[in-house]
Amino acid sequence: MSPPAASAQVALGSLAAVPDTGAVPRHVAIIMDGNGRWAKRRLLPRFAGHKAGVDTVRRITRAARALGIEALTLYAFSSENWRRPEAEVSDLMGLLRLFIRNDLAELVADNVRLRIIGDYRRFSADLVALIDDAVARTASNTGPTLVIALNYGAQAELVAAAQRLAARAAAGEIAPEAITAEAIEAELDTHGLPPLDLVIRTSGEQRLSNFLLWQAAYAELLFVDTLWPDFDEAALGEAVAAFGRRQRRFGGL
């Protein structure tokens, strides 16, 4: 058994023997963790791990399209990542620039719509312009959606949504009782996307790290030991198969 498959089996526990129903999650989100440890194990600088991680992003986005996943959301840069050394943040921004420049043509050709969640406008002006151009060039595409979370934090997202709704209520535009779950969802960065079905975190860590907290309320969670640069097409296939073995009740029987 390959390492990715073994990780999926560990996460599933007793459900591992349940047959795969063949169900494909419409919306998958991935916390891409382990680039630094991948590099450290190879006595390489952290930048090498991040660069290998970008190569994995490329492979996994293609594999997700082949599997029929409608939306893939990748946690690329959290609002807490600013705490990292300035040189590492600069390296991450540089890799983001390269990814957009090198892969935008493929996204356009494959009818993929690029969407950004998070406050990416805190980035440098040239990077913001590059992101805006990429989003605009794919806006009319009708195929799967690639969502990149940049300077994203779920708590900040929820606070902003609550503040906007509270301001409308204070102005008399809506009644307080109109602030429903549906109203909050309409204010979130992810509005219009399919409901979140599956969250995958690589590297063995088992927490959400301020990622899609509202959206993950009834998502299936899968934690695998594989470090992100080693997470390949087969590992994604195992994750989708694991999803197919889950029994989703959404609070019912």
> Residue ranges for the binding site?
33-38, 46, 50, 78-80, 82, 84, 201, 207-209, 220
The tokens describing 153, both together, are 């934090």
Adjacency order of strands within the sheet including 27-31: 113-117, 145-152, 71-78, 27-31, 198-201, 220-223
Cα gap 21→119, rounded to integer Å: 38
* Catalytic residue status for 33: yes
Tally the residues of the chain: 253
Residue 39: partners with Cβ closer than 8 Å, 6 or more residues away: 45, 46, 47, 48, 49, 50, 52
Known binding-site positions for Mg(2+):
33, 220
What are the helix (H) ranges across 82-142? 86-109, 125-138
Cα gap 75→95, rounded to integer Å: 14
Identify which of 249, 248, 243 has the alpha carbon closest to the alpha carbon of residue 69.
243
Catalytic residue chosen out of the listed positions 20, 33, 103, 225: 33
* Catalytic residue status for 103: no
The tokens describing 116, both together, are 């950004």
Cα gap 92→55, rounded to integer Å: 13
Q: Could you say which DSSP state residue 70 is in?
A: S
Q: What interhelical angle do 125-138 and 86-109 show, nearest 10?
A: 20
The tokens describing 246, both together, are 């889950």
Known binding-site positions for substrate:
34-38, 46, 50, 78-80, 82, 84, 201, 207-209
Catalytic residue chosen out of the listed positions 20, 55, 81, 151: 81
Q: Would you name the residues annotated as active-site residues? A: 33, 81
